[in-house]
Every structure is written in C-alpha cells, then in structure tokens.
Amino acid sequence: MGYALRRLLLPLMATLLLAGCAGQSFMPGTGGQSAQELLNQANNQSGQQAAASRLQAADILARQGDTAQALQIAGQIDTSQLDATQQVKWALVLSDAGIAEKDGWSVIRATDILDTNAALSSDDGQTLRYRRGIALNMVGEPEASARLLIGLQQNNAPYDLNDDIWKPLSSLSPTALDSLAAADDSAIMQGWVDLARLYRASGGDIGNLFDRLDQWRSRYPDHPANRRLPSDLTALRQIEGNEIHQIAVFLPQSGPLSNIAAAIRNGLETRAEDAKSQGENTPSLTFVDSSNQDIDALYAQATMSGAQAVIGPLDKEKVSQLETRASVPLPTLALNYGEHARNSATNLYQYGLSAEDEARQAAHRAHLDGHRRAGIMVPDNDWGSRVLAAFRQRWESEGGQVASVESYNPSESVAPAVRNLLNSDPSSMDMLFLLALPSYARQVPPTLDFYYAADLPIYATSHLYAGTPEPRADHDLNDVQFVDIPWMIPDAAAGGVDALPFVSTYRRLVTQDDPGLLKLNAMGVDAYELARRLPLFQALPNTQIFGATGTLSARDDGRIQRTLPWAVFESGTPQPLLSGPATSGTQTTAAPSTQGGTDDSSSSRASSNGGEQLNGFALDSDNGDDSD
C-alpha cells in the first residue's frame, strides 16, 4: 500500500459524488459550502466554532486531493478547541494529508492521539497505527516503523503490509535486526528478520539470494511474505543471471592522487579477498592505470578485458566529463562527484567521502533539535566555502536563519574568530556549526566559555575527530555532537566492533596506524560493495547498503547519498548519541542513528597552502581532484 494513501474509511457514496462533481468546490454534508467559504467563515468566528469550520474545510480539501492545503490548515488548528469526536477526525485528516505530502512529523503529531484516552473505533485505531508506522520510516526511524507494522500484521490488520514492512526492514543494520529478533520470538517477526538477513548477506549475487530464499520458504511456510514476497524481492528476478563477474578499476598509479588511489585499492582488494574466503561469489578486479589515459581509452581497455562494470575514475575532471554525457559505455561507479549541478549520464553513479554530506546532515539534525538561528565557523579557504554553501542551503531550505558566519584563518588564534562570530551578542544564535580539524576544534568550546557562550550547542563534521580516542586531548570537546563513518567510531556507531558492517574486512585493515588510511580503505570497501550491486540499484533505485562509510543509497541522478551515524564527546571520547531530536510538538521513539546529505568526495584535507597531502583526515584539494 503506497504512501499516497487516501482515507481508508471514506464512504463509497462520497467518493462517487466527488467523482461526479469534478471541478466543483463543495462536498456532501457541508450544506453546499466550499472549503474557501468555510475558511472565510472561520475568520469571523472564534474558539470552538472557528476550529470546527477549519477542520471541515481541511477535510473537504483532503477529499478533493488538495492535500498540501489540507495539511497546512489542519496543522494550524488549535486542537484544544475541538471536542473528542472532532479530535479523532482531525487526527485522521492531518495524518492522511501528511502521508500524501510525505510529511512524517505531521503524521506522528496527529497519531499522538493513540497515546491518549481518546475513544477510537477499532478501524480508526488501526488506520492511525498504520500511518504512524509509515511516518516513522519517513523521519528516520526504520526499526520503530518495522516493529509497529509487523505488530499490525500479527494482529491481522486488514492491509497488505508486506511492501510497507519491507521498506524499513531492508534498511536496518544487523544490530537493529538483532534487536527486533530479541524483542519478539513470534514466527512472523523471526521470519521477517531472517528474510532481511539473507537479503543483506547475498550482496550482488542474485542467484545465491534465491537459493537461500527457497530455504527460507521451507522454514516459514505460513509466513505472510511466503504467500506474497515483497515487490522489491520479486523484481530481482528480472536481473537474475545478469550479476557482475568482472570489474575494471580506473585508478592512477602515479601523480598527485596515487597515494589516495593506493589506499582505496587496498580496501577494494581486501574486501574482495575477504568476501571470497567466506564463500561468496565475488566479481574479480582488473586494475587499469588512469594516470595518462583519456576516459574513452580507459573504457576501450575495460571493454576489451571483458569487464561488465567500472569503478573509477578518481579524478574530478574526468568525472565531470562523464556526467555531461547521455550515457557511459559500461555501468560505472565513479570515485568522485562532478562539478555540475546534476549527473545526466545514464548508468553513471558517483560516490565519495564528502564534507558537504556531513554539513547537510548537521543542518538537518540541528533543525530537528529545534534550533533556528545558526552561527557558522569554517576555514577561510575553498574547502570552507564549499562546506559553508552546503550547510547554508540545507539550513535555509528548512526554515533556519544564519545569524553569523566566521571564515577563520586556521593558522591564527581561535579567540578573535570566536569574538567576531558572537559579535558581542551570544544570544543572536542558538547553535554553532563547526568545520575544523582537531587542533583548532579543541580550542573552540573553552573560548566560547570565555565569551559567556558555553551553553551554545555545537554540531560538527567528522574532521574534528583524529580517529583514535584521545580523552585528555579531546576533553574540551565534551558535549560536541558530530558525525563520522561507522568504522571510525565503532562503539558509538554500531554498538561495538562486532556489530560493524563488513567486520571481518575491518579487522584485516584496522591494524595500520593512520586513521586517514583506514577511512580511505573503508571507501574502497564500500566502492566494491556498491559496484557489485549496480544491477540492484538499476532495478531497485531505493536499494540501501549499510556500509563502512555510512548508510548508502542512490539519488535519482545516480549520486550516492551517504548517511552517517551521530556521536557525542563524553569524557573526551566519542559515545553514542542516545537522545533523539527534540522536535517541536513531537517525540521520537529512538535516536535516528543515521541521517544525512548528498554529494561529494573527500578523503584527506588540503594543507594550508592549498596542496594535497595524505594526513589522516580527508582529502579536499583546491584543484578539485576528489572533492566538490
């Protein structure tokens, strides 16, 4: 049942009358009044009468299909002015419009009536629970969504819930699946969890998936998903036999990007070897030196070698050339993002580590936490300008205001930068977005304290964390919230090393001393897993991977969106961020573990003079080889 769910209990007669009165602005039961007439009437009323008129208008608009206006009107009604029956109607109207407009928070607000003593009919209660389950996944709570929807299925709710359950369930991490299984030992729950586990374990090997699916069917003969598989799984039949067996990898073996490329290659090869040792049918890798060849020559060489897909190029200029084409010769996972607003090439996917991703995610999280006036500190270089633009765009799109921006010189003192940021008025902002490397970031909180702004919440990118716990050095960062890839913060991101994605590969790579190398290795690991699944992304655009560098999904233009887990410094070490966003009028059931933005690649930072260096953090160079 799709998101654009219309009100399930709409009487058939009303539906027929609406269809027969196309273009008319009145509905049966309103005395001939249109929605606009009711709204005009409400403007001359007050209290209960005004609230009732607006509710009636919102209901009419929702039935007519104008769900955007219905959502706006219903969302502004003072529900304390409605009687008990009207409050139930309000919850149904608002949740219906919220589902249609994909406004999950409004749906959750409406379905809060489930937690009251409201006298709900069985049908209304099921309808509202169903909508809450859909909405929880919209707002980044897939585990809670799956749990609620599976509970409805166990109670024989009159819906075909398989596709609705599969959407959040298939995106859950192994730890979340374990949590579901531990909390409910019913055959329905265990069957769903086992189905999600075998789907995750299949990688890009569709034949293996369906072999294991036959075994699952024999274990759960009466399961609802056995009677009808989720549509996404059924759709995979069309690509069975078209799995990728050979991948050409375009990486430079010389030049300024060769060290970066070597670290990514190590991740690619280690992941391929590890997966093969565990009995998986894995694609082989053929490496092609991209240092001194144009992109067409590289594709010609890949085609001659029998490759079915390509990983690379790494160079931003080559990726920018590709994304303006109509298509690419082979399905391709570029290891960078182009310079254009959108990728227009069919079969071209783009993936990288992106400071811009993290900035957008920080803006979204701060907004969910109720903040509206941002202070921003970024370096006074090209990297800082790009990240500032990404944060500002997302922040302002969600209704936030930028109170102050300080583009600081990383080689100078923190004090004047903080003083300029605050403009002698700490109350002008209610949060701070910080882009800084560890040595600079550690000085910001105590300097804020000196200027009487110690309570200003700080949201930061991964760059302020050196990659290994240093409690004495990082104690001044206590209470700072930041995002990072799961492999860098295993205790905070996944509940410990054993719960990490591709943990056996992680154990092979984590022995090195440089955290920056591990981050690039992790990029190689995820590039391998993305590339072997390119047929899945083509058949099922909503495919997600719980990867070493975050939860990965593809935008409609093929750019891979990377969503990172949140952590917070406590006693100088990263810890899980256990509290969910404090949204206005809404209470979430758990902390969103991963939410975030889109598009870019960075795997080592730029030096102060604009040159490139592999230094343990991220690559962001002024000549744009690997960062947007």
- Token representation of residue 372: 């509206």
Q: What is the DSSP letter of 451?
A: T
DSSP 3-state of 54: helix
Label residue 97 left, alpha or beta by phi (over 0 means left) and psi (-120 to 50 means alpha).
alpha
Q: Does residue 576 carry a pLDDT above 80?
A: yes
Burial bucket for residue 382 (CB in 10 Å: 0-12, 13-18, 19+)? middle
Average pLDDT, the chain: 85
Q: Does residue 447 carry a pLDDT above 60?
A: yes
- Please spell the DSSP secondary structure of 75-135, one letter per residue: HTS-GGGS-HHHHHHHHHHHHHHHHHTT-HHHHHHHHGGGGTT----HHHHHHHHHHHHHH
Tell me the C-alpha distance between 509 and 267, whole Å: 8
* pLDDT of res. 31: 56
On whether the CB atoms of residues 344 and 326 are closer than 8 A, the answer is: yes
Strands (E), 380-434: 401-408, 431-434
The residue-averaged pLDDT of 101-125 equals: 92
Q: Does residue 599 carry a pLDDT above 50?
A: no
* pLDDT of res. 210: 82
Q: Does residue 2 carry a pLDDT above 80?
A: no
The pLDDT confidence band at residue 544, using thresholds 50, 70 and 90, is confident
The residue-averaged pLDDT of 94-119 equals: 93
- With the CA atoms of 342, 459, 520 and 199 taken in that order, what torsion angle do they form, in degrees rounded to the nearest 10? -70
Nearest to 348 by CA among 358, 366, 335: 335
* pLDDT of res. 411: 94
Q: Does residue 186 carry a pLDDT above 50?
A: yes
Q: Which stretches of 423-578 are DSSP H helices?
A: 438-441, 444-450, 471-474, 490-494, 503-509, 515-532, 534-539
Residues whose CB falls within 8 Å of the CB of residue 80, separated by 6 or more in sequence, listed in order: none
- Give 9-25 pLDDT, tens digit per residue: 333 333 333 333 333 33
* pLDDT of res. 413: 95
Helix, strand and coil content of the chain, in percent to the nearest 5, comes to 50, 15, 35
* pLDDT of res. 424: 65
Tell me the C-alpha distance between 433 and 480, whole Å: 10
The whole-model pTM stands at 0.77
Which element (helix H / strand E) includes 166?
helix 162-169
Q: Provide the percentage of residues in the chain whose pLDDT is more than 90.
A: 65
Q: Does residue 603 carry a pLDDT above 70?
A: no
